[in-house]
Structure 1
């Protein structure tokens, strides 16, 4: 039965509360039904938020996550809840962006992953953070992340 690959999911299709922090968040994965085919999966989170660890003020980012799956795909509701768990989490932009990327790499063991964290300015300075696991596999088409350099993004 095709749905067998979804049988272990615990969050999709049920009411699930937003985790209080990234450590509490449960990221789930499903078997890649297109295993052996090199393709890119993109998630865009234009309203990512976290807290400044020094002031407690909110920080806002536009995250773009691209990955070439291996055996696993991330289940999107669990990713949404994981990203939302940063809402009350105090960490600098660099830590948030790279932590998201590394957590996905640990879970999925993708052929390749990159994340772009395009942070809105605080104190007049936008900070953009990029993490990538290595070179893109040959023959994979990868579009630009589509987020322009800061000039009043929105």
Structure 2
């Protein structure tokens, strides 16, 4: 069994885990934590699924709902899941269009983690009778990476 590198004094500390933390008031106010990847030499995909993501329509203030799927291939860092959950929850009171929410999340994670590869699928429920799905990735995925389907069907309404 490979020995795991311990977190040293120069590594970032996890600031939210194990504490009672209120939901951040905005995405800008949310703290993301990262931890060292214990397998930086391995090529693998990590997936986060948020089937109950919400934000607000910037025009009407009505809630918008999405099923988000975030896939990334870690390099040096992993995102700490509680901080990601709180970050995604901070969008509940945030007014932005579907495209802006989806791309803002991807941009922040890509900049924060510097992964080998990252993609996001934002499967938004209909607004005005039209579902809006938003997809983005950092570039071509690494060769030989197994990338499963995101598993979210396109919107079909009642049928």
Q: Which residue number corresponds to residue 7 of structure 2?
A: 4
Check the 8 A contact 2:12/2:34 in 1, yes or no: no
C-alpha distance in 1 between matches for 2:43 and 2:76: 11
The answer on 1:88 being equivalent to 2:93 is: yes
Q: Which residue number corresponds to residue 110 of structure 2?
A: 105
Change (3 A) 1:2 1:37: closer
1:4 Cα deviation from its structure 2 partner: 2.9
1:151 Cα deviation from its structure 2 partner: 1.0
Q: Which residue number corresponds to residue 58 of structure 1?
A: 63
Q: Which residue number corresponds to residue 16 of structure 1?
A: 21
User: Paired residues, what number?
Assistant: 153
Moved over 2 A (4+): 1-7
Partner SS, residue 134 of structure 2:
strand
> TM-score scaled by structure 2?
0.92
Q: Which residue number corresponds to residue 45 of structure 1?
A: 50
Deviations along 1:119-154, whole A, 9 cap, x unmatched?
Answer: 00011000000010000100110100000111138x
1:115 Cα deviation from its structure 2 partner: 0.1
User: How large is the Cα RMSD of the aligned pairs?
Assistant: 1.6
Q: Which residue number corresponds to residue 30 of structure 2?
A: 25
Q: Which residue number corresponds to residue 148 of structure 1?
A: 153
Corresponding residue to 2:141 among 131, 136, 141: 136
Check the 8 A contact 2:12/2:35 in 1, yes or no: no
Q: Which residue number corresponds to residue 126 of structure 2?
A: 121
- Which of these two proteins has the greater Rg computed from alpha carbons? 2
Unmatched runs of 5 consecutive residues or more in structure 2: none
C-alpha distance in 1 between matches for 2:5 and 2:73: 22
